[in-house]
Structures are given as structure tokens and as C-alpha cells.
Chains A and B, each alone.
Chain A
Amino acid sequence: MSTTAEGRLYVARTVHDAVAALSDRGPEGAPLAGATWIMRTPLRQEQHKPFYVAISKIEALRQLTVHDREISIGACVTHAELASQLSSVPDCRALALAASNAANPAIRQVATIGGNLCAANFAAADLVPALLCLDAEIELEASGGTERIAVSRFLDIRASLKPGHFVRRVIVARAPRHSVHVRLPLRKAGDYPVAILSLAVTLDASGIVNSAKVAVGSVELTARRWQELEADLINRPLDPQHAADKAESHCGAFQARDGVEAPGWYRVKVLPSLVRKAVRALREQA
């Protein structure tokens, strides 16, 4: 056997079952969803946890439900399922685009939204900036009950979650928004994007931007909102060149990371172009 993981695996069938198994194992255990990130642990020169609790067979975590006021997405909904089920939900377009373009088809069949959010060292996670621009919330499950927090807050605490806690679902509030997700990979597939940009706006009847949420992924270690740019997009029509110029003036806000696929300066350099592309796409959408 050329590779043998040393850990053990427990396949939970209910949320209660998973909470109990994770609580039993304490800091030695961790949830496992699609496994595409955790299976590469040795390649990152990291150690596997001694024990994993597989949660992707839990039916309750595989449900995606579109309600009038919110969309509820179970933590183990895959990228492929997201792309398919959100394709006809206009206010969630950024998330559908992110899910349908991430990685490659075989990865999208198993990689989950919960896994994408929990991979703390994965700077190029596509779904994270999309969820940030949609103001999504996370419902955390633990033995003491559930807790609902903003995605931005979750990103701050995800590496230090207490044992036994895991993401149960993601909630996106419905709104009359337009959104888009653009990314710059070096190939069509099979590599991580140099930079990712998600943008959501609401417009008034005359096409003036009432609110704007911009999120950037893959540039810094963790995706985040670009609030300096958001302020410059509000109270005017969607104008790709104006947005790109403003993006250029705010690029100093980033502490870009170097990586094998691109140096940090290049990740920042391409942002104005991504902003122009995103605003152009939004204008066509609107």
C-alpha cells in the first residue's frame, strides 16, 4: 500500500450521532465531509487527526431548501449540488457561479460547502468570498445546541473551534440583489485561482447602486470584504471603468500572499481587471 492513513473513521448517520462521536474524541477528533482537503493533509506536511467523524452521509446535512425569506444549505451539500440547485435562484448567482467553476467536475461531486468554509489554510476557497458578499450566516452545531454567526465571524474563529463543534448549515437571506463571481485561474481547471472576486449589489429603480458588498479571495490568507471599494460603488450607476479605477486606488489595502502559482504583487495587480469584469457582468445581469 503506497499510502496508508493512520487515523480511524466513524461514519455518522445523524447529527446527534456526529455530535456524540466528536464530543467523545475531544481534540483528537475532527469532522470529515467531502474529504478532498483532509486527504491532502500529508501533502501539506501536516499530521492527520487521530480520529475523523464522517458527516457527509447525514441526510439532514445534505438538504438545500429555498424558502421565501432565506436559503438553507446543509453543510454537506456539494459544489455540484449547489451549482445545480441554485442555478435558477437569481439572488444567489454568485454562489452558483462559485460552485460551478471551482476545482474540476470530479472534485465538485464530493467537495462540500462546509468543507470549503472549514479549510482554514485554503486561501483559494471559491465559496467563501461568494458567501461573504451574500452576507451569509453559519449555524454551528454542538452538544449544547446551535449557534448562528456571520460568515466573517466564523472565518475569524474557525481554526479554534471547540471540540465537538461543526458547521450544520449555511443560511443566505433572500434579497432583490444582483451578484457575480469572477476568478482568475492560470488554466481552465486544475489549479487554484490567482485571485477571486465576488460582488453583490442592490439597485434602485433607476439603476443606482443602493448597497454593494465586495469580497476578495485567494489574495490574502483568508478571504475578506473590500469595504474601501464598496463605499465608492454606492450612489452611482454600475460603471465598470469607474469601479476598476477605484479598485486600483484601493489595492494598497491588501497584504497579498506569495504562492507557487503567483507572487503576491500579481494577485493584487489583477484585482482592478476582475472588478471591471465583475461590474460589467452585473450591468448585463441587471
Chain B
Amino acid sequence: MRVQTANPMSLHLKINGEDRVSISDPLTPLVDVLRDEFFLTGAKVVCREGFCGACIVLLDGRPVVSCLMPAGMAADCDVRTVESLASGDGLSPLQRALEQHDVVQCGMCFPGILMSLTSYFEHAHSPNREDMKAALVGNICRCTGYERILDAALSLVQSFEAP
């Protein structure tokens, strides 16, 4: 029987393409391991109930709320955080679109919104405003206004479609 315990060096994770070893109890919320142990502070701890979406990361390409994901359940999975989107000093096209539309304000919700939209663009066959709204219903923003976020994301679609 393979029992994962709270012993140090017991939890192997793959985060943003790198193999990492955590000393946390496997029931520790993944967001705490990311932030407190690996200093990946992009994912935010806000509600801890899975309601706000500020802690969303991608687990095998799908958005999950990392506040309700036991770190031990993320072993053997590919974890991607918002820190993985930019390469070097270059922002991802989605990050650039949001910046160019001056959408980002306080920044608490944005890591989650970026990860939800990143997953959406990776899986959507025909990206459109209504589907984007549905993809973002679990991301709560209290300052920017969702329509501008959608405008920015849609500009990305239009730029791909432009000849």
C-alpha cells in the first residue's frame, strides 16, 4: 500500500514544467503550497470556498480552484500557474491584449481570469463572447467590469482572424 504521509520530501509535483518536491501535508490546499512553499504568488487566496476564482490554476490543462485542491491530488498532474504564461520579459498574447485594453486594475482576480481564459482559448473551437462569459462565471471581478475584459479577449480572436 502506497501511503503518502506528511513526511518531508514526500510530495512530488510538476509545476510549470518543473519537477518540485513539497514538504507539505498532502491535504494542504494546492494554493498554499504554490504560494508559501514555492513563492508562486500569482494565484491569490481570497474566498477559500471555490466561489471567486482568484486561485484558479490549470491542472492538466483544465481550470481548477487551487484553494479546494489537496496538493496530494495534484501529484502526477501538470500544474500551470499564471507565472507560466509570460516567457522571459515577454507577456503572452492574452496578457498583452488585457494590458493594451487597460483592463487590469487591482490585480486580485486577474491571475484567475488569465488562467480561465487561457484554458478557454486552448479548448474553444470557435471563440465567441457568449462562451467566454460562460467560461468566466466563476471569476469574480469587483473593479474592472467584465465587458472590457471580454472586449480585450475578443480583440485577440479578431487579431488572429485578421488577414
Q: Does A1 sit at the interface, judged by CB under 8 A? A: yes
Q: Mark B123-145, 1 if CB is under 8 A from A, else 0.
A: 00000000000110110100000
Q: Which of A1-60 contact B (CB under 8 A)?
A: 1-11, 17, 20-21, 24, 32, 35-36, 39-40, 43, 48, 52, 54, 56-57
B118 to chain A, nearest CB (A): 13
Judged by a CB distance under 8 angstroms, whether B68 is at the interface is yes
| Shortest distance from the beta carbon of B18 to any chain A beta carbon, whole Å | 21
A110, closest chain B residue (CB): B64
Interface residues as binary, B1-36 with A (CB distance below 8 Å gives 1, 0 otherwise): 111111000000000000000001111110010001
Q: Are A105 and B138 in contact (CB under 8 A)?
A: yes
Closest to B45 in A: A2
A89 within 8 A of B: no
Q: Please, which residues of chain A bring their CB within 8 A of the CB of B63?
A: 105-106, 109
> Can you name the residue of chain A whose Cβ is closest to the Cβ of B23?
A1
A185-222 near B? 1/0 per residue, CB < 8 Å: 00011110000000000000000000000000000000
Q: Chain B residue with minimal CB distance to A54? A: B73
Q: Is B150's CB within 8 Å of the partner chain A? A: no
Partner of B138, one of A1, A39, A52, A190: A190
Let me know if B89 is at the binding interface, CB within 8 A.
no
Indicate if B97 sits at the interface (CB-CB under 8 A): no
At the interface, yes or no: B107 with Cβ under 8 Å from chain A? no
- Indicate if the CB atoms of A5 and B50 lie closer than 8 Å: no
| A95 located at the interface, meaning its Cβ lies under 8 Å from any Cβ of chain B in the complex | no
Asked if B75 is at the interface (CB within 8 A of a chain A CB), the reply is yes
Given A21-B1, A103-B50, A106-B56, are A9 and B137 neighbors across the interface (CB < 8 Å)?
no
A196 smallest CB distance to B (angstroms): 17
Which B residues are CB-close (under 8 A) to A106?
A: 50, 53, 56, 63-65, 116, 138
Known contacts A5-B25, A36-B50, A189 near B137 by CB under 8 Å: yes
Give chain A residues whose Cβ lies under 8 Å from the Cβ of B37: 1
Q: Are A104 and B138 in contact (CB under 8 A)?
A: yes
B52 an interface residue at 8 Å Cβ cutoff?
yes
CA distance in complex: A191, B140 (Å): 12
Whether, in the assembled complex, A107 has its beta carbon less than 8 Å from a beta carbon of chain B, the answer is yes
Q: Which residues of A contact B96 (CB under 8 A)?
A: none
B48–A9 touching, CB < 8 Å: no
Residue interface mask B73-107, A partner, CB < 8 A = 1: 10110000000000000000000000000000000
Q: Assuming A4-B24, A11-B73, A39-B68, is B1 touching A191 (CB within 8 A)?
A: no
Of B1, B4, B53, B137, which contacts A8 at CB under 8 A?
B4
Q: Which residues of B contact A21 (CB under 8 A)?
A: 1
Q: Is the CB of A8 within 8 A of B51?
A: no
- Most chain A CB neighbours (cut-off 10 Å) among B1, B25, B27: B27
Q: Does B156 contact A (CB under 8 A)?
A: no
Q: How far is the CA of A142 from the CA of B37 in the complex (A)?
A: 38
The answer to whether B45 and A6 touch across the interface, beta carbons within 8 angstroms, is no
- Taking A1-B24, A6-B25, A189-B137 as contacts, is the C-beta distance between A39 and B67 under 8 angstroms? yes
CB-based nearest A residue for B51: A190
Q: Residue of A at shortest CB range from B53?
A: A106
A80 to B1, CA, bound (A): 31
- Bound CA–CA A106/B3 (angstroms): 28
Using an 8 Å CB-CB cutoff, how does the interface string of B30-73 with A read, 1 for contact, 0 for none?
Answer: 00100011000000010011111100100100111101111011
Q: A107 to chain B: which residues have CB within 8 Å?
A: 50, 65, 68, 138
A1, B28: Cβ atoms closer than 8 Å: yes
Instruction: With a 10 A CB-CB cut-off, give which of A1, A10, A35, A56 has the most chain B CB atoms.
Output: A1
A11 with B75, Cβ < 8 A, contacts A32-B70, A52-B27 known: yes
- Using a CB–CB cutoff of 8 Å, the interface residues on chain B facing chain A are 1-6, 24-29, 32, 36-37, 45, 48-53, 56, 59, 62-65, 67-70, 72-73, 75-76, 116, 134-135, 137-138, 140
Closest 3 CB pairs of A and B: A104-B138, A5-B27, A189-B137
5 further contact pairs, Cβ within 8 A, besides A8-B27, A35-B73: A3-B48, A8-B5, A52-B27, A104-B53, A107-B65
